[in-house]
Amino acid sequence: MLGEQEIRKVALLARLELTDAEVVAFGSQLSELLDYVAILNEVDTEGVEPMAHAVEQTNVFRDDAPRPPLPREDALANAPKTDGKFFRVPAILDAP
Amino acid sequence: MHYKVVVGLEVHVQLQTETKLFTDCTTAFHPDRPNTQTHPLCLGLPGTLPVLNRKAYELAVKAALGLNCTIARFTKWDRKQYFYPDLPKGYQISQYDMPMSSDGWLEIEGDDGAPRRIRILRAHLEEDAGKNLHDESGRGQDSLVDLNRAGTPLLEIVSQPDMHSAVEARRYLETLRLMMVYLDVSDCNMQEGNLRCDANVNLHVTLPDGAIAATPIVEVKNLNSFKNVELAIDHEVRRQLEEFEQTGRKWGDPGVTKATRGFDAHRGVTVSQREKEEAADYRYFPDPDLAPVTITDEELEAIRRSMCELPADRLRRFEAAFEISAYDAGVMIEHSRSLADYFEAVAEGVGDGKQAANWITQHVLREIHERNIGIEAFPIGAPILAALLQRIVDGKLTVKSAREVFDALLQAADADRELSVDDVSRLISEMGLERVEDAGAIEAAIAAVLARPQNAKAIEDLQGGKQQAAGPLIGQVMKEVKGADAKLVRELLLKAVGQA
Amino acid sequence: MSTIEATAGELLARLKSRETTSAELVRLCLSQIDAHDGEIGAFLHLDRDDALRQAEAIDAKRARGESLGVLGGLPVAVKDVVSQRGQPCTCGSRMLQRYIPPYDATIIEKLRAADAVLLGRTNMDEFAMGSSTENSAYRVTRNPWNREHSPGGSSGGSAAAVAARMVPLSIGSDTGGSIRQPASFCGVTGLKPTYGRVSRYGLVAYASSLDQLGPLAQDVSGATRLLQAIAGHDPLDSTSIARPVPDYLSRLEQPLEGVRIGVVEEYQSAAGMDPEVSASLVEALDVYRALGADVRTVSLPHAKYAVATYYIIAPCEASSNLARYDGVHFGHRTEQAGNLLDMYCKTRAEGFGPEVKRRIMIGTYALSAGYYDAYYLQALKVRRLIRQDFDRAFEQVDVIASPVSPTPAFRLGAMADDPLAMYLSDLFTLTANLAGLPGISVPAGISRTGLPIGLQLLAAPLQEEPLLRAARMFEKATEWHTKRPPLVGSSFHFP
Ligand SMILES: [Mg+2]
Ligand SMILES: [Zn+2]
């Protein structure tokens, strides 16, 4: 069972503000799902290569030739807040 | 207290590609025109997909080979996830557990002058973030985000903690930079942020009982010049020593974690950075949008063959093949690959490396510094300089005359004339500088000079054994016979006055 | 037959013979939408004027005798998850309410090149997460066969639009069954192609290694024609397959002699199976036997782990793919912003609905420090075992037949409080996404309560051609694909 603290920690990592009701609901729903997926532990996967791609190709490249960029107007068009040149966000205080 | 400084460096080098790592958007540097160099992918727009730039991968392989790394035959792409305004997708495409290269080394000159190998843990490819501009007023105004740089290819080179002084760290960076520039992997322009460095620093302190205690590791972020790297490490050493003396806190003590500090270049001190509210958890996982890369021995060999000689190898070869000093070879090689190429062309043309090195390290370097140009723009091309120096070597031109021709060549070029090899002989004859080997002509001039009444005193002094009296007489002879070799004139003069 | 009831192939014949025009078809579609979409809720946006302009341009080309692409003026509706320059692309999410992409997806370019008329954008579960289309932030889509029931999801709008004869063809996306299940619930044909067969460039990602775009139509031939238009290698998608596209249409009518059809042993005991669904599969197999098929049992020993595998992998990828919706560069931003962290957390809390939040939470948890190996890595390994099961099975059979969903369309709201129950109902479809296989849903029955039941056929990677031919054999021998929901038949106009 995932406790409140754990749910809140995951929510912070995912940058989701949860209501108290959501914390409770997700706590039980995630727990139920995790209980269910525990059946994967029955599978012997010793020596099995993980499969991250549905089609396993390699060496897909493109050439180093530029195409014109988007006009700045278009680049900023969908942004919630800009000054016409930059995207604007509340002051950044932390390092990444 | 006895202690050892321990430094490891993480260097981000921007690869010299036309386009970004995963989209065909230009990488040109335009901080004055924010957000003018983006494609939908650089903005992280929904539905966009990355496709790997082949050139970026090849440059990374070249760099890694230069760093003596093992190239992974299979490498993949991982997402490093965190929220930050300069990271539009919410993740950086990087390499986590299967980097494209690992386990290399770079040889630098150690503090004792002997060569030292700094081990390289790994070098991997990743995309750059954009740039955040913070409100400096302290009033908490909005930060600004420019995504021009977002997605630019970077090679992250992580060293082992093998450096033991700030000077060694600087030398490592200088050597690394030279290598990257030499291989055309990166221009390493630090003003443009094309080489960035984080330093991990701590001390191994020998305690009175002989035991070794490690101070807590500090990562000093975003050092943007070699000088700052040196200053920051020096400051950090003093600071850690002081802190250790006061607190005794050691790496490995409960609650001791790696701290992040910045460097305040104005005050010359490292400063603590605000700790984040949560522990970093990047949730790396393989990027499902990108195919892994494999490389065969043959492909690797082809890249190796396409690589130029590495700077360290070249230095050794210059010393041996051209019999020049390590110092002169170093000056030219470290200046630029093209200057070293220029030297090599001149030295081979003349067949005299010392002569070529002398001229290039003195006259050519002075000229290009004064003109603030690269050797590519220097008007006296290698064949022309070689032709000029050949005259000296062949004894057909004196060094002094050669300098006059050199200056005349530059004057002609400054008057917008395109120079050619023929200009050398043309100028020599126009200026009447052919070296005169004709003893008869010199002897005739000596006779004329000795006959001048005003020289009677000097002749007397010379005959009396005063060697320095010969100078003015030689000067007069040389004025009469342009291109006469001073040594020969002296010889014949002494003979004429009966002193030889 | 009235124009509005006609299949894509029939409409194309009428266009070619000049019995009708593309502009006429567009008007017909729009009037059908006007008449019924208030109730059904299949569309999110219509671009009436532009659709007519596109149609008129194609009509003019035809009039000039120019050769036209395979879609030759047919209207196509596109799920609102595909980027089209200048058009909304909400993904059914409040987060993208005002987002207008500045670029075209490859599939949009291909549809234009095939002379499709892009009619409008269809409703969907938010970011394609769901099996009911109830997770749309904008409207509920109702099943044209019974308005109290779900059309399925997440491509519920695309399926309902075709079922209600509002458009002859539509594009959906399928990450765990999101084309096939709504096709089954709405009594139409839906194909999920092999992963990599259709470019994902411009498809807003839910789970990148599972997502695939595909066609929905009234019949196999319509789906085949639309696949022909959209399939192909795309250098803008690193996961796209660089193989030539076969001419699917030319051999479609040739039956597969002695086709070997696999029935999955492990599915016989699947829990929660509706007896009518089981019966329809039995009947379908009888139809195939009568056509000379060789029906065999195959084993997929790891199939029972598919739901667990999927509900780790998909949320993990989703949690990452949806990190970009942070209120900085595009999309919704909260008005309540205090500091930056606050802005992120509130923006995402306001912009995402509960199912999306739930999957982001699952994925974030499963990828977080200390859990990666136990959940994500283990799921990737089981995924390979599932794929290997299929590889072995396809050594013995050409296609695998199964139900699409354990039940016909459920009632709206029936699954709302039980996410796990909803997830479990995807058991037959999501194996194809995990293994990258092509799969099709064709109409194969109608329940006593009047709801369609679909038959799923799966084939080995890139075996769309035999898959479609096998589906066409069944269709030819049955009438199910000609059944229409009750709403059709009264209010539309004859040209
Ligand atoms: Mg963003
Ligand atoms: Zn890095």
Which of A60, A63, A92 minimises the CB distance to B85? A92
The DSSP letter of residue C193 is: P
pLDDT at C495: 30
Distance CA B471, CA B461 (A): 12
Distance CA B284, CA B314 (A): 41
Which of A61, A73, A93 is best to mutate for the B interface (most B CBs within 10 A)?
A61
Which of A8, A81, A83, A92 is best to mutate for the B interface (most B CBs within 10 A)?
A92
Residue C368 and residue A13: Cβ atoms within 8 Å?
Answer: yes
pLDDT tier, B329 (very low <50, low <70, confident <90, very high otherwise): very high
Residue range C218-233: mean pLDDT, rounded: 98
Q: Which helix (DSSP H) or strand (DSSP E) does residue B459 occupy?
A: helix B456-463
C349-374: per-residue pLDDT in tens?
A: 999 999 999 999 999 999 998 999 99
Distance CA C244, CA C250 (A): 15
User: What are the phi and psi torsion angles at B188 (to 5°)?
Assistant: 50, 30
How near does any CA of chain B get to the CA of C397, in Å?
A: 30
Q: Distance, CA B157 to ligand 2 centroid (Å)?
A: 8
Between B496 and B323, name the one with better pLDDT: B323
Cα angle for residues C199, C201, C205 (degrees, 5° grid): 105
Neighbours of B, requiring at least 3 CB pairs below 8 Å, are A, C
Check if the beta carbon of residue C462 is closer than 8 Å to that of residue C203.
Answer: no
pLDDT at C493: 36
pLDDT at C142: 96
**Considering only CA atoms, which of B119, B148, B122, B121 is closest in space to residue B133?**
B148
Asked if pLDDT for residue C286 goes beyond 50, the answer is yes
* Half-sphere exposure in the Cβ direction for C49 (13 Å, CA): 1
C304-328: per-residue pLDDT in tens?
A: 999 999 999 999 999 999 999 999 9
Residue range B413-440: mean pLDDT, rounded: 84
pLDDT at B491: 82
Distances (CA, A) of B33 to A85, B15, B149, B189, B349: 8, 21, 11, 19, 47
Asked if pLDDT for residue C346 goes beyond 90, the answer is yes
**Considering only CA atoms, which of C408, C415, C393 is closest in space to residue C441?**
C408
Which of C100, C329, C330, C346 is best to mutate for the B interface (most B CBs within 10 A)?
C329
Residue range C441-466: mean pLDDT, rounded: 97
Residue B55 and residue A87: Cβ atoms within 8 Å?
Answer: no
pLDDT at B448: 85
Residue C308 and residue A57: Cβ atoms within 8 Å?
Answer: no
Q: Distance, CA C353 to ligand 1 centroid (Å)?
A: 18
Ligand 1 ion: residues within 5 Å (CB): B 44, 88; C 324, 326, 328-329
Cβ count within 10 A of residue B207: 11
Check if the beta carbon of residue C312 is closer than 8 Å to that of residue C377.
Answer: no
Q: Distance, CA B110 to ligand 2 centroid (Å)?
A: 27
How near does any CA of chain B get to the CA of C349, in Å?
A: 15
Which of C209, C330, C369 minimises the CB distance to B281? C369
Contacts of A51 in chain C (CB under 8 A): 380-381, 383-384, 387
For residue B138, with 0-12 CB atoms within 10 Å meaning exposed, 13-18 middle and 19 or more buried, which class applies?
Answer: exposed
pLDDT at B128: 98
Contacts of B24 in chain A (CB under 8 A): 62, 64-67
Contacts of C194 in chain A (CB under 8 A): 55
| Average of per-residue pLDDT values in chain C | 95
pLDDT at B441: 81
Between C262 and B418, name the one with better pLDDT: C262
ipTM at complex level: 0.96
pLDDT at B276: 67
Structure token pair of residue B15: 């690869």
Residue A54 and residue C436: Cβ atoms within 8 Å?
Answer: yes
Residue range C107-123: mean pLDDT, rounded: 98
Distances (CA, A) of C180 to C151, C266, C411: 11, 21, 18
Q: Is the dihedral of CA C383, C384, C388, C390 positive or negative?
A: positive
Give the neighbor-by-neighbor strand order of the sheet with B131-133: A87-89, B143-146, B131-133
Structure token pair of residue C202: 């411009």
B18-22, B116-120, B267-271, C436-440: least confidently modelled range: B267-271
pLDDT at B500: 58
B36-84: per-residue pLDDT in tens?
A: 999 999 999 999 999 999 999 999 999 999 999 999 999 999 999 999 9
Q: Which helix (DSSP H) or strand (DSSP E) does residue B413 occupy?
A: helix B399-414
Asked if pLDDT for residue B434 goes beyond 70, the answer is yes
Contacts of C324 in chain B (CB under 8 A): 44, 46, 88-90
Residue range C421-447: mean pLDDT, rounded: 96
Q: Which helix (DSSP H) or strand (DSSP E) does residue B262 occupy?
A: strand B259-264
pLDDT at B499: 67
**Considering only CA atoms, which of B205, B207, B225 is closest in space to residue B216?**
B205
Q: Which residues of C are catalytic?
A: 79, 154, 178
Relative orientation angle of helices A4-13 and A20-37, to the nearest 10 degrees: 90
pLDDT > 90 in chain C, percent: 93
Distance CA C209, CA B49 (A): 12
pLDDT at C1: 59
- The 10 Å CB-count burial string (b at 16+, else e) for C364-383 is bbbbbeeebebbbbbbbbbb
Check if the beta carbon of residue B199 is closer than 8 Å to that of residue B161.
Answer: no
Distance CA B78, CA B68 (A): 24
Asked if pLDDT for residue B476 goes beyond 90, the answer is no
| Average of per-residue pLDDT values in chain B | 92
Residue range B366-386: mean pLDDT, rounded: 93
Residue C101 and residue B79: Cβ atoms within 8 Å?
Answer: no
| Residue ranges of C 272-331 with Cβ closer than 8 A to chain A | 302, 304-305, 307-309, 311-312, 319, 323, 326-331
Which of C210, C320, C341 is best to mutate for the B interface (most B CBs within 10 A)?
C320
Residue C326 and residue B90: Cβ atoms within 8 Å?
Answer: yes
Structure token pair of residue C235: 């250098």
**Considering only CA atoms, which of B176, B180, B223, B179 is closest in space to residue B201?**
B223
Residue A62 and residue B37: Cβ atoms within 8 Å?
Answer: no
Cα angle for residues C355, C359, C362 (degrees, 5° grid): 140
SS3 B468: helix
Distances (CA, A) of B439 to B398, B493, C361: 16, 11, 98
Q: Is C204 on the interface with B (CB under 8 A)?
A: yes
Residue A67 and residue B24: Cβ atoms within 8 Å?
Answer: yes
Residue range B395-418: mean pLDDT, rounded: 90
Check if the beta carbon of residue B298 is closer than 8 Å to that of residue B283.
Answer: no
Q: Is C208 on the interface with B (CB under 8 A)?
A: yes
pLDDT at C490: 41
Asked if pLDDT for residue A90 goes beyond 50, the answer is yes
